[in-house]
Structure 1
Amino acid sequence: MRAALVALLVAPLVLIPAPAQTPDAGKLAAIKPAMQRYVDSGDLAGAVTLVGRSNGVIHHEAVGFRDLAARDAMQADTPFRIASMTKPITAIAIMILADEGKLSPDDDLAKHLPEFANLTLAGGAKPKRAVKLRDLLTHTSGLGNYPADLGDVYGKRDRTLTETSAAVAKQPLMFEPGTKWSYCNSGIDTLGRVVEVASGKSFESFLQDRVFAPLGMADTRFYPTPADMKRVALTYGKKDGKLEAGPFGLVGLPANPKHPIPAGGLISTAADQANLYRAMLGKGQLDGKRILSEKAVAEMTRTQTGDIKTGFVDGMSFGYGWAVVKEPKGVTAMLSPGTYGHGGAFGTQGWIDPKQDVFVVLMIQRTGLANGDASPFRQTLQELAVAAVK
């Protein structure tokens, strides 16, 4: 008896985590009518909203129409152009290769793409240090956007990543690497070419094999099929106060496209993004399938930009490919420090709050928003989602 008591006293204390609070069903149910009001007011044609936690999806609804003229209702599985929400996925590809020892964020860009070895600043001076992969991942490289003589890279998509990165390498740097933040599509596209060189695969094949297939992201791709085109949400802008369908742009593909647009070319669904975000909350794995190491996830999702002012709303910083909330305020006030995510040019948003174990996905297709990252649509969804899990 005494021996058993002694063993109990010296045994290590095991803390059993408290179960996650059951989400408030009423607050989750309020999301759909809240989004419907934006449809009724003529601000959105339709939307798909999704809220999830590390153990699964707790809300997934569609409102309005994917095609207003046809009165074709929005579906929960409607594909959307997620535009720059592609950027964190490109960063994931880089970090997969870092896990394998094929590159490091601290590598000079020229180590993988020698054409970048002789970069100069505007005026011809040499920069104080070389551009590193981490600079591209955080938009602090100083690389300029595409030169005028390259043509409409995203519209025509008739240049390969090899050709476009070579053209970018001929442009002068806008500032000393690592000293400022400037959102840079060409830098992220250049990372797509780095993935090809380091992996020996095309960029789109690498993502399919190493990210989309393992995570069950069956509706996520760079080149939509004819069947996709019949399902994808149309993009709308406002003209004379009314919604008007715009050109498909990135989705309206020319014959035999060569440029997958690592900076913004994917179509995807809310459910596919939920699988990706659950894998991030799972520190690199989903349902036993690991795509990233815990270390890689931690590096991607912490502030890597120090005190440099970044982002499109106040209080932000940048990790590798992900925007990171440094000081919650305004549209991020309900989120925790360390929340990370990204928006897209057509109003889509996806944000992950590990401290509150919640993520949100907003799928809309709107042009002409003053600032998609600060949209009332995003704020409404986040407020109701966070309130439901507190």
Structure 2
Amino acid sequence: MVGRRTALTLPAGLALLSAGAARAAGPGGSPAPALERAERPEELGFSRQGLERLSAWYQAEVDAGRIPGAALVVGRAGRLAWQEAIGMRDRDARAPMERDTLFRIASMTKPVTSLAAMILAEEGRLMLWHPVSRYLPEFKDLKVGPERAVLEREPTVLDLLRHTSGLTYGAPGAEAGSVPRAYADARVGDQSQTGEAFIANIARQPLRHQPGRYWEYSHSTDVLGRLVEVASGQSLDRFFAERILGPLGMTQTAFWAGQERAQRLAQPQVDPLTNARQAMPALVERPAWFWGGQGLVSTAMDYARLCQMFLGKGSLGEARIVSRHTVALMSADHLPPGTRTEPEVYRNQAVLAPVPENGHGFGLGFVVRNSAGRTSLPGSAGDFSWAGAYGPYFWIDPKEDLYAVLMIQGPANRMHYRYAMRQLVYQALS
């Protein structure tokens, strides 16, 4: 059996490697508060036996060789109920999972970028109803579909936040002549591009749909990240560091790990379902540009601080990031009645997809649950969540005053592990 290592506090004083790195400090330079640990999970309404079952389930997956390891954090009522580092950070190297293991969190970058946009909205430097072209003029004369039809209306900042902009992702295997194929052929997602080149490239391609008609998971948040840079006059990594990561004490979160932290990155293994290892970026060197929809590395405990801020209605300790009304706006369902989705939404996200059939909608940066029913997963109406392509997942349940973070790296059946995290956390509530 691969050993399980438990960690309940995060070591201080580790430098943020992003350019313009911020101190782990609240307003006025005061230290960011620690996440207080409950002496016993029963104090927070959890059964210890139930939480041990949660850890044992992931340990069994490690022992069976299906995943190398996992990092779990569960918080409730402002305190930590459970944190475990299970299995291996790198199975090939026999390196154990540690409390400061770094994970490539992929699309779990999106809620951070969405939060950055809402900070600017609170300051009046960004308006959600403005057309994107007000900030990025390249978006002024977009066309729609392979036939390049005329826009019915321009995409707005709100459309970027809720993924109704008409944008898509590239798909090399898509039908020739389709918009996803055009994105792939034009290398819209080329990671070596600058932000300016990315915007010029994507604006030359047609939208897949008229804005507002479809929920389409897409490059919307990458465009939003560039918009944040233009509206703030700062690079995205600097804005993150100064306005979000630093004040929240997220000292381990950045857009790249650097050589000195590379050995702390979790690594995927050869997956028994595919007999292959999921390809993922090294994220060791500074990227050419900071993509708002992807790219951060973080730890389970760092991301827990972000979750606690949302659960705290915009604040963590003395650090106020946004107002409680902004958090309420972000976590409300913003999909208009009749919003459609593409079939791949069901294939890729299944019961977590933001569709009425699942009792879900979409807010400003994450899936929002509208109904306690219509899905096979436990939860509460009003909870909100998101995930990353390399495996990580989180959700926040205001009704239960609860959040949970799962960090894994590379399993092909990542939805299985997200579903299990939900089921096993809620069964532990006493």
Shared topology, TM-score over 0.5? yes
1:35 aligns with 2:58: yes
Asked if the contact 2:54/2:421 (under 8 Å) is kept, the reply is yes
Q: Give structure 1 regions of 4+ aligned residues with deviation exceeding 6 angstroms.
A: none
Which secondary structure state, in structure 2, belongs to the residue aligned with residue 169 of structure 1?
Answer: helix
Q: CA deviation at 1:388?
A: 2.7
Q: Distance in 1 between matches of 2:217 and 2:408?
A: 22
Correspondence for 1:269 among 286, 299, 303: 299
Asked if the contact 1:345/1:367 (under 8 Å) is kept, the reply is no
Q: Distance in 1 between matches of 2:165 and 2:365?
A: 13
Larger Rg, first or second structure (1 or 2): 1
Q: Distance in 2 between matches of 1:280 and 1:296?
A: 10
Q: Distance in 2 between matches of 1:159 and 1:286?
A: 35
Aligned position for 1:354? 398
Asked if the contact 1:82/1:344 (under 8 Å) is kept, the reply is yes
Letter in 2 for 1:108: P
Q: Aligned residues, how many?
A: 362
TM-score using structure 1 length: 0.87
Distance change in 2, residues 1:194/1:51 (3 Å) = same
Asked if the contact 2:377/2:422 (under 8 Å) is kept, the reply is no
Letter in 1 for 2:418: R
1:293 aligns with 2:307: no
Distance change in 2, residues 1:159/1:54 (3 Å) = farther
Asked if the contact 2:255/2:286 (under 8 Å) is kept, the reply is no
CA deviations over 1:331-355 (Å, ceiling 9, x no partner): 6631001110101101111000100
What runs of 5+ residues in structure 2 fail to find an aligned partner? 1-41, 171-182, 352-357
Correspondence for 2:388 among 338, 341, 344: 344
Which secondary structure state, in structure 1, belongs to the residue aligned with residue 325 of structure 2?
Answer: helix
TM-score using structure 2 length: 0.79
Identity of aligned residues (%): 36
Aligned position for 2:111? 88
Give matches, 1:170-209, under 5 Å: 170-184=204-218, 186-209=219-242
Asked if the contact 1:48/1:63 (under 8 Å) is kept, the reply is yes
Q: Distance in 2 between matches of 1:250 and 1:334?
A: 33
Q: Distance in 2 between matches of 1:328 and 1:265?
A: 32
Q: Distance in 1 between matches of 2:228 and 2:418?
A: 32
1:159 aligns with 2:189: no
CA deviations over 1:198-224 (Å, ceiling 9, x no partner): 000001110111110000001111121
Q: CA deviation at 1:58?
A: 0.7
Letter in 1 for 2:310: M
Correspondence for 1:228 among 249, 261, 268: 261
Q: CA deviation at 1:104?
A: 1.6
1:132 aligns with 2:176: no
Aligned position for 2:27? none
Which secondary structure state, in structure 1, belongs to the residue aligned with residue 143 of structure 2?
Answer: coil
Asked if the contact 2:143/2:207 (under 8 Å) is kept, the reply is yes
1:382 aligns with 2:426: no
Distance change in 2, residues 1:86/1:126 (3 Å) = same
Letter in 2 for 1:95: M
Give matches, 1:273-352, under 5 Å: 273-307=303-337, 308=339, 312=349, 313=351, 314-329=358-373, 333-352=377-396
What runs of 5+ residues in structure 1 fail to find an aligned partner? 1-18
Letter in 2 for 1:43: R
Q: Distance in 2 between matches of 1:110 and 1:332?
A: 41
Distance change in 2, residues 1:78/1:62 (3 Å) = same
Q: CA deviation at 1:258?
A: 1.2
1:53 aligns with 2:76: yes
Give the alignment's Cα RMSD to 1 decimal: 2.1
1:71 aligns with 2:101: no
Distance change in 2, residues 1:366/1:272 (3 Å) = same
CA deviations over 1:234-285 (Å, ceiling 9, x no partner): 023425776x6554x32245x6521222111111001001100000001000
Asked if the contact 1:220/1:268 (under 8 Å) is kept, the reply is yes
Q: Distance in 2 between matches of 1:58 and 1:24?
A: 10
Distance change in 2, residues 1:343/1:246 (3 Å) = closer
